[in-house]
Amino acid sequence: MSEPAVDVRPRRLSGRQPQVAPARLVAELVPPPRFAAARFETYRPDPQEPSQAAALAAMRGFAERLSAPPPRKGLFRRSAPARAGRPGIYLDGGFGVGKTHLLTSLWHAAPKPAGYGTFVELTHLVGALGFAGTVDALGTLRLLCVDEFELDDPGDTVLVSSLLTRLVERGVALAATSNTLPDKLGEGRFAAEDFLREIQALSQQFDAVRVDGPDYRHRDAVEAPEPLDEDVVRERVEAHPAATSDDWPTLLGHLASLHPSRYGALLDGVEAVGLTGLAAVPDQNTALRVVVLVDRLYDRSLPVFASGCPVDQIFTPEMLAGGYRKKYLRALSRLGALAREGNALR
């Protein structure tokens, strides 16, 4: 006998008011469902991009060092790791070159307890637990993986850099990724230099590893998918009991009423998302909230049925030329992939 479909009432994201306890934020510091099966063995380096095979070897080596028993110091306190090599590794590269796959593979291969979260999730955790509380919550980890380390907000960069410094002092090993802009890929170690400069006191703790190549999400489909008709969106939502349907402006207003740390819980029980009336977002604050929502959609591999403007037009040219460009380009890449998955569903 088949199990009943998940009930996601109300079938509008804008009708949901999820509550998230701080303990859940800590418990969810694990790789996203999309990468649950990612392992070093399943990473397929592009033969045309030798840096990918080199990055795989570097991450394997880092995992092996972490698994070696660390030296003891005293009876009750673990000192900073004194293994050969630095306690941190940083993957520098463009969008869709497999950095998250490698980072997730490292998490799976590393001794536990280990934590995994995006840069934004760490800032949300500090907001929920406070700085000292976050240090205590993460200070017992053997490894913390930080995906999508962002350098576009000086305050958040200093906050997370300070947090990671305290964790290294407690013996926590670190692994991080960040993105080089696509049009900067030919400029040597552009992003790596930015990263190491901005984290200042931590810079000597990281080995930087370059990962080159094209965005795999664009290898077979460079352009954004065609928007669906509004009636088609509604039909597909009705055909999927665990799908939701929201008018884009209404959803944007609802996101403004929720702390971004609750966006993941907003999607509990949801298996697909319908969006009608897609249009360019009106301001930067709204755009940044959309980035967080897209990341949570992508983490959960939720197909998107969208009508209105093409998904690659939700951020204005001015936004794409501004300081948050990396965030927006990543979001467009991910939303385009989800929309293609949605268009392929019937």
SS (H, E, C) 46-84: CCCCHHHHHHHHHHHHHHHHHHCCCCCCCCCCCCCCCCC
Whole-number Å distance between alpha carbons of 333 and 214: 12
The pLDDT value recorded for residue 146 is 94
Q: Residue-wise pLDDT tens for the chain (346 aa)?
A: 444 445 565 689 999 999 988 889 999 999 988 898 999 999 999 899 999 999 999 999 999 999 887 556 554 444 444 445 788 998 988 777 889 999 999 999 999 999 999 988 999 899 889 999 999 999 999 999 999 887 666 778 788 888 998 999 999 999 999 865 434 433 444 455 666 565 666 667 788 898 988 766 544 444 689 999 999 999 999 999 999 999 999 999 999 999 999 999 999 999 999 999 999 999 999 999 999 999 999 999 999 999 999 999 999 999 998 878 888 988 998 999 999 999 998 7
Name the residue among 300, 307, 299 with its Cα closest to residue 343. 307
Q: To which H or E segment does residue 210 belong? A: strand 206-211
Element (H, E) at 35: none
Four-point Cα dihedral 228, 283, 20, 122, nearest 10: 110
Question: Is 92 in a helix, a strand, or coil?
Answer: strand
pLDDT at 322: 87
At residue 182, the pLDDT reads: 39
Show the CA angle centred on residue 329, arms to residues 328 and 334, nearest 5°.
95
pLDDT at 74: 52
Could you tell me the domains of the chain? 31-214 (3.40.50.300), 219-344 (no CATH)
Nearest to 330 by CA among 312, 307, 305: 312
Q: What is the pTM of this model?
A: 0.80
**Rounded to 5°, angle at Cα 175 from 171 and 178:** 145
Q: In what order do the strands lie in the sheet with 143-147?
A: 114-118, 143-147, 173-179, 88-93, 206-211
Phi, psi (rounded to 5 degrees) for 234:
-65, -40
Q: 3-class DSSP state for residue 247?
A: strand
The pair of structure tokens assigned to 39 is: 């392992």
Contact between residue 118 and residue 293 where contact means Cβ atoms under 8 Å apart: no
> C-alpha angle 155/22/272, rounded to 5°?
90
Residues found in the chain? 346
**Which is nearest to 196 in space by CA: 182, 176, 214, 181?**
176
Residue 210 in tokens: 């370059």
Bridge-partner residues for 285, per DSSP? none
What the block records as the tokens of 281 is 């977002």
Task: Write a three-state SS string for 247-271.
Answer: EHHHHHHHHCCCCHHHHHHHCCCCC
Alpha-carbon gap, residue 99 to 44, rounded angstroms: 12
**So what's the pLDDT on residue 188?**
41
CA Rg value for the chain: 20
Nearest to 225 by CA among 108, 333, 318, 346: 333
Owner of token pair 């760490």: 122
Contact 146, 115 (CB under 8 A): no
